[in-house]
Amino acid sequence: MKSLDFSSLEIAPELIAVVKELGYEQMTPIQAEAIPYLLTGKDLIGQSKTGSGKTAAFALPILNKIDLEIENIQALVICPTRELANQVVTEMRKLGRKHEGLKILALTGGQSGREQAQSLEKGVHIAVGTPGRILDHITRERIELGDLQVLVLDEADKMLEMGFEQEIKALMKELPVKRQTALFSATFPEGIQSLSRSYQRNPMKIIVEEAEGQSASIQQVVYDTEPEHKLETLMRVLQQHPSKSTIIFCNMKNTVNEIAEAIAERDVVVGSLHGDLEQRDRDRVMTMFRNGSLPILVATDVAARGLDIENLELVVNYDLPNQTETYVHRIGRTGRAGKSGTSVTLAGPRDTMKLLEFEKLTGGAFERPTLGFKNQLGLNKFAFQPTMQTIGISGGRKDKLRPGDILGALTGSDGLKGSDVGKIEVHDRYAYVAVAQGAAKDAFERLRNGKIKGQKFQIKIMK
């Protein structure tokens, strides 16, 4: 049995201090297996479920290895979507906060390529991005990869699913052959094996199985419905299962829009997430969902994949996913960390076989209660009242704003109680702060009439 103690790792003491500060008490199983191995510089294939701490598993060895004096890219992390790339950047910046002068750059679409090129020009130690944008920088000769030592392919199966194979192949050609390559994937179809064969050397395979009875705390409910009554059934499901954090999964973005509109018509605050949204809108929706300002999120799988959302009470499968693994991913977002959760699936007459498969795989019996008919007309909007409200600030990291400055502006000189202030997220050019519903007006006025770190910003209550 490997030690789960971070201090058993042969890494820089600052890194061990940081994980302590972040409140990580011990390593997760994938970290305990992968970190010591990656520290040896060898190639690795890793698999473990979403939320098991894979980012830190590769980030800590990378941070340990980076030479800050060399202002060239030494580690490159490739992710399937912007969201995932941004999450990796956030986690790596957190873990690297004692590395003075460390520069981590996101290379994703939806942000200006020119600005990225300028940052690359100034020097970057770690780059994290999506295949298309990275390749674009390579093609335009804006990126220097001669000092690259570590390559990470994060959620590799998803990248193949999304059709990034050609891009990955093309950009691999540009990387130094002598490097360490780590590949993380939830599944191992032939495509992944061939990717590994082509680009890794004797990789060690580390698979962390889910614990027995993993889904025991997730109640899985199925309601039968006909396609033409689906929307109405959904509304009744929401009445029956009021919750402060619900994700409704659909297979297509048109359905996402349709449902979000139908819920909004019933005066419930709802957000939607699919591949066609602007980066800024996605960021806003995810922030608001995470910080408690949005009780319901309607999403496609791709848009929601890998999102680090904790304490989800309810997952609704409006459409059945086509793959069993997707079902497991979806319902795995609830019932985390010993909390109980509910998954509701709307099933049509033709879904019987699929349901049997899902039931078998999750090892839990489905419940099939009948759905009540009460209050046909609408949702009880009070049951879905968000606990928080998000305030947007027109300044961010580039304006030298830090979370502490915003907290200070809100709570200083007889201001809000600290307990009324929730998550604060500072982006490059804007920031979001969550405040308790009851304190939102007060917070808004304070920020609008006052200054933050001596500067005036535009303040907005986000809807």
Q: Summarize as ranges the residues that interact with ligand ADP (CB under 6 A).
A: 24, 27-28, 31, 50-56, 91, 306, 308
Picked from ligand ADP, Mg ion, none, the partner binding residue 56 (CB below 5 to 8 A depending on kind) is ligand ADP
Select 6 or 430, whichever has its Cβ closest to ligand ADP.
6
CB of 303 to ligand ADP, least distance (A): 16
**Contact footprint for Mg ion (CB under 5 A):** 54
Question: Between 60 and 393, whose beta carbon lies closer to ligand ADP?
Answer: 60
Relative orientation angle of helices 82-95 and 279-290, to the nearest 10 degrees: 60
144 binds, among ligand ADP, Mg ion, none (CB under 5 to 8 A by kind): none
CB of 114 to ligand ADP, least distance (A): 30
Residue 82: CB minimum distance to Mg ion, A:
14
Long-range pairs for 115-120: beta carbons < 8 A, 24 or more residues apart: 116/142, 117/142, 120/144
Euclidean distance between CA atoms 383 and 238, whole angstroms: 9
Q: For residues 215 and 219, which CB has a smaller minimum distance to ligand ADP in the complex?
A: 215
308 binds, among ligand ADP, Mg ion, none (CB under 5 to 8 A by kind): ligand ADP
Nearest-angstrom CA–CA distance, 53 and 38: 15
Q: How far is CA 198 from the centre of its chain?
A: 29
Decide whether 54 or 99 has the Cβ nearer to Mg ion. Answer: 54
Length of the chain counted residue by residue: 463
> Of 54 and 133, which CB lies nearer to Mg ion in the complex structure?
54
Checking phi first, is residue 131 left (phi over 0); if not, alpha (psi -120 to 50) or beta? alpha
Task: Please identify, using beta-carbon distances, which residue of 185 and 219 lies nearer to ligand ADP.
Answer: 185
With CB cut-offs between 5 and 8 Å by kind, which of Mg ion, ligand ADP, none does residue 317 bind?
none
**Nearest distance from C-beta of residue 57 to ligand ADP, angstroms:** 7
Burial of 130 per CB tally in 10 Å (0-12, 13-18, 19+): buried
The nearest distance, CB 399 to ligand ADP, in angstroms, is: 26
Q: What does the radius of gyration of the chain's CA atoms come to, in whole angstroms?
A: 23
Degrees to nearest 5, angle at CA 419 with 417 and 421: 85
State the minimum distance, in angstroms, from the CB of residue 221 to Mg ion.
28
Minimum distance between the CB of residue 410 and ligand ADP, rounded to whole angstroms?
A: 24
Q: At what angle do helices 165-172 and 131-139 cross, to 10 degrees?
A: 40
CB of 220 to ligand ADP, least distance (A): 22
Evaluate whether 366 touches 222 at the Cβ level (below 8 Å). yes
How far apart (Å, rounded) are the C-alpha atoms in residues 416 and 164?
Answer: 48
- Output the smallest distance, CB 296 to ligand ADP, in A: 22
DSSP H/E element including 286: helix 279-290
51 binds, among ligand ADP, Mg ion, none (CB under 5 to 8 A by kind): ligand ADP
- Kindly give, in sequence order, each residue whose CB lies less than 8 Å from that of residue 354, ignoring residues fewer than 6 positions away: 320, 324
91's contact among ligand ADP, Mg ion, none, with CB below 5 to 8 A by partner kind, is ligand ADP
Nearest to Mg ion of 283, 319 (CB atom): 283
**Neighbour count for residue 252 (Cβ, 10 Å):** 11
Residue 324 binding: pick among ligand ADP, Mg ion, none (C-beta 5-8 Å cut-off by kind): none
Closest residue to Mg ion using C-beta atoms: 54
Q: In terms of CB distance, is 24 or 188 closer to ligand ADP? A: 24
Count CB neighbours of 103 within 10 A.
Answer: 19
Binds 153, which of Mg ion, ligand ADP, none (CB < 5 to 8 A, cut-off by type)?
none
The DSSP-derived string for 63-103 is HHH--TTS-S--EEEE-SSHHHHHHHHHHHHHHTTTSTT--
Q: Would you say 158 or 274 has its CB closer to Mg ion?
A: 158
